[in-house]
Structure 1
């Protein structure tokens, strides 16, 4: 009975700990329905159109244009960028490419996905995808790890023929993230996320000068930027400690010899 109670308590505590961890591992919620998805794209990093994760941004342009959007990504997220281009009715074979850059304008490699794809002459659409590496809360200065902040999406056609330049196209871009949780946790965090102009905003706030608090990018996650110190790794560490203690108690109960008969001296 005692062993049963010990195991029951261990399973109960394990279930209580796993519940919030499982909730954290669910995909990021979609953007609020109150915010309208953008219907245009920028032509450079500085004019990139902002949109939230979960929104479907659309834009009309011409082949040969560079289309730019930006979105926020926080520590522990693994963003997936998906782009669809509706091609002209008549065109030659076209190669389209989607690139993702972080707040320092460093090009981020895709773990997997069709980042570049060639559409045949009779194709009506082309679909692209880029699954980024998990965003880290902190990294070495020399590393190219993705960090919290603004991310830029650039969509364009490469290697176009002269006859295909300037033809009208429609593009759709969407970003969704999977929350990786404690598996990607690190011991450290950035002082500020990599958002263009955030240093200007911080300086202006300290001087109480609202007129100088312009920020080049105003988007951020719904719950704000995380500090980078909390993750479900703390939960699993605590659960491991509790299970180790319960295992010690159970082992002691099994081996202390309370139920064994007392030793009888020979010849008694």
Structure 2
């Protein structure tokens, strides 16, 4: 009896080269990096120092003498004022959530004067004195000094904070420039002062989960009420008209949402690339189909 042998035909297996899998993973990661770069470019541009109105012709040339008469200054403007040693000079400027304001002041002194200490203070809309994060807030001018320069960089303005905290909040801020320990002989000498406020947009790094109902913009003047209120003799407060160029922020939006979306896209691309590298080549060639 002849025994016949049946040879089983081998089914050719399809092999996927590791180079192809690596190429797909590299393309997936490259696409993710392109998306990240496209989103990060405008975010990096927004984090640059904000340049407000630079028209010096419209800049104020005087300063107030109290909180209620403080001269309004936009960010980026260079305000000037002529005064006498011993005066208190006040300016006000708006600061919104996510900004880190920097106040710079320069005082030009007369030819003959004694040594004097100059100081710049910054107050928020509630007239709370804000601490300087860094900068020369107080400096002493020597007798032969022609000018003295001061600076104060505040902490980042937050959209919301606890009632007991002294964190900077959106609203109007006040700058006060004066001398400390002035000698009687120098009282009344003429000086000229320059003040400029710039800010850096920190972005989502300083975002918080909350916002104020209204920015802290206190009344700077009191005007007569409407015709219906004139009989009762009541008056209404006129709020400050100064505000950021693009209006007050709502507080809920920040570039943190953009980075969260980009992180989700990169995580998905990383998952696809990892699956392409680790899924294998299918059935090994040495295993028959019937196994």
TM-score after normalising by structure 2? 0.84
Larger Rg: 2
Q: 1:48 to 1:263 in 2, by over 3 A?
A: farther
- DSSP-derived class of the 1:17 partner: helix
Shift of 1:24: 1.4
Q: Could you list the structure 1 runs, at least 4 aligned residues long, displaced by more than 4 angstroms after superposition.
A: none
Please state how far the C-alpha of 1:9 moved relative to its aligned partner.
1.4
Q: Deviations over 1:46-76 (max 9, x none)?
A: 0000010000000011111000000000000
Q: Which of 124, 133, 138 is residue 146 of structure 2 equivalent to?
A: 124
2:266 match: 243
After superposing the two structures, state which structure 1 stretch, 252-261 or 183-192, moved more. 252-261
**Residue matched to 1:14:** 36
How far, CA to CA, are the matches of 2:29 and 2:172 in structure 1? Answer: 47
DSSP-derived class of the 1:70 partner: strand
For the aligned residue pairs, the C-alpha RMSD in angstroms reads 2.4
Q: Which residue of 1 aligns with 2:58?
A: 36
Unaligned runs of 5+ in 2: 1-22, 227-234
Alignment gaps of 5+ in structure 1? 205-211
Is 2:178 the counterpart of 1:156?
Answer: yes
Paired residues in the alignment total 259
Q: Deviations over 1:137-195 (max 9, x none)?
A: 00101100000000000000010111011111100000000000011111111110000
* Partner residue in 1 for 2:76: 54
Structure 1 contact 42–67 (Cα < 8 Å) conserved: yes
| One of 153, 177, 201 as aligned partner of 1:179 | 201
1:233 and 1:151 map into 2 onto residues whose CA distance is 26
- Cα shift at 1:229: 1.0
Q: Is the 8 A contact 1:85 1:125 kept in 2?
A: yes
* C-alpha distance in 2 between matches for 1:3 and 1:217: 57
Paired position in structure 1 for 2:105: 83
Residues 61-102 of structure 1: per-residue CA shift (max 9 Å, x gap)? 111100000000000000000000001111110100000000
Match of 1:225 in 2: 248
1:207 is matched with: none
Q: Name 1:109's counterpart in structure 2.
A: 131
Per the TM alignment, residue 259 of structure 1 is displaced from its structure 2 partner at its CA by: 6.2
Instruction: Identify the range of structure 1 (251-260 vs 8-17) with the bigger mean alpha-carbon deviation.
Output: 251-260
Question: Residues 32 and 266 of structure 2 are in contact (CA less than 8 Å); yes or no, is this contact kept in structure 1?
Answer: yes
C-alpha distance in structure 1 between counterparts of 2:202 and 2:103, whole Å:
16
Change (3 A) 1:19 1:259: farther
SS at match of 1:234: helix
Q: Partner of 1:247: helix, strand, or coil?
A: helix
Q: Name the counterpart of 1:138.
A: 160
User: TM-score normalized by structure 1?
Assistant: 0.90
